[in-house]
Every structure is written in C-alpha cells, then in structure tokens.
C-alpha cells in the first residue's frame, strides 16, 4: 500500500460506453418508465402500438446504419439495422405491408449520429426480456417479434463487439459530449413517439 491506498483495488477509469451511459442514464430511465406505464405487452393491440413506435424510431436511424462514414468507424454497422425485421413484424400483425417512413433524425454530425446508434444498439441488448413478454402474446422471433431476436452469434457477444469498436473510436472530450447529446435526443425521440402513439 502507498499512502494508505491499495493500488490493486483503485477504481478503473470508465470506458467511453460507460461514460455515455452515465451521461444519459436519467433520460433513459424516464423513457423506460414511460414505456412500461404504457403496458406495451398487455395485449396484441397494445403491442401493435409498441411496434409502431419501434418502426418509426428504426426508420429514423436506418440512414445512419447505411452511412459510409459510420460504417468506416464501426465496421459491419449496416448489417445491424433492424428496420426490415420491424417491417415484417408490422405486416405479421396488420396483415398488410408496413408503410414506408421518413427518418426524423435530421442532419447530424458524426458524434451525434454515434449517440443515436448507441441508443438503437443498446435497445437490442434489452430485447431479450421483451421477447419473453412477446411470447406470452403468441409472438416469436419468427412471427411478430423478429426485431427482438438475438444475433445468431449471441446477443451478449454482438453487444460486446459493438462496445469494443465504440470504445476504440478516436474521439475528443467535446465529441463525447456531442455523442451524449445525440443519445439523449434519441431517447427523447422515442419518448415523444410513445406519448404520440399510445396517447
């Protein structure tokens, strides 16, 4: 021990993803509480409303997943896009093709765009719980809840690969703050969609 400090047990510096989580946790918690208060798995009708929220948000972020610049920074990002799965889920429940939607993310600089992508990817990590709830409505990763399915290689590994790439990005402190701004904007966007669609 040196000056009373146990070096082996000294706190490790936070990773970028951990810092981003800390900076956005309040906005994220508010969204989670709002979604659960809407009882999205109370019935198939309510789940259909939840699908509309998800469909619109993923239409918002789909152009980011197709961005050449973001795919250069996060290789394989395009393959993570879940919009097609959501369109199939909407069709399963409605019996008709999902209407094409325009994205609402607007013109974002790269750090802000990364914040939106962080929110979209993080939602996939929590989807394991949602898939279990959807199963109670007779839905599955083959019907109505495709967008909640885990990656074939495993949900945890898929997330850890994203985290490793995100943490390795060359970003200045001010760019991290811009990414946090983008993530908070994405959480607020979903919150607004829940209020609008569930009423």
DSSP 149: P
Q: Is the pLDDT confidence value at 12 over 50?
A: yes
For tokens 């019907």, name the residue. Answer: 143
Mean pLDDT value across residues 111-119: 97
Helix axes 16-37, 173-198, angle to 10 degrees: 10
The tens digit of pLDDT for each residue in 141-195 reads 999 999 999 888 778 888 999 999 999 999 999 999 999 999 999 999 999 999 9
In the prediction, which pLDDT does 106 show?
63
What are the strands, taking DSSP E only, across 20-167?
none
Q: What is the pLDDT of residue 6?
A: 46
Dihedral, 25, 38, 64, 166 alpha carbons, nearest 10: 30
Q: How many angstroms separate the Cα of 65 from the Cα of each of 53, 116, 117, 118, 150?
A: 18, 10, 8, 11, 18
Q: Which CATH class is domain 40-198?
A: mainly alpha
What does the pLDDT look like over 127-138, one tens digit per residue? 888 999 999 999
Would you report the helix, strand and coil content of the chain in percent, each value rounded to 5?
A: 70, 5, 30
Of 199, 189, 197, the residue nearest 28 (C-alpha): 189
Average pLDDT over every residue of 74-82: 95
């Amino acid at each position: 021990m040196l000056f009373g400090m146990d070096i082996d047990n000294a706190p490790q510096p936070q990773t970028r993803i951990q810092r981003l989580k800390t900076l956005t946790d309040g906005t994220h918690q508010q969204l989670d509480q709002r979604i659960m208060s809407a009882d999205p798995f109370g019935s198939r009708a309510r789940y259909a409303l939840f699908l509309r929220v998800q469909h619109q948000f993923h239409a918002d972020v789909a152009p980011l997943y197709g961005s050449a610049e973001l795919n250069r920074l996060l290789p394989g990002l395009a393959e993570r896009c879940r919009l097609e799965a959501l369109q199939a889920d909407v069709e399963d429940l409605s019996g008709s093709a999902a209407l094409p939607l325009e994205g609402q993310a607007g013109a974002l600089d790269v750090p802000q765009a990364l914040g939106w992508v962080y929110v979209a990817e993080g939602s996939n990590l929590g989807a394991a719980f949602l898939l279990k709830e959807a199963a109670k409505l007779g839905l599955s990763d083959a019907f109505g809840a495709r967008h909640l399915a885990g990656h074939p290689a495993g949900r945890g590994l898929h997330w850890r690969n994203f985290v490793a790439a995100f943490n390795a990005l060359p970003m200045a402190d001010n760019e991290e703050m811009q990414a946090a701004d983008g993530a908070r904007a994405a959480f607020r966007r979903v919150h607004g969609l829940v209020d609008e669609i569930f009423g």
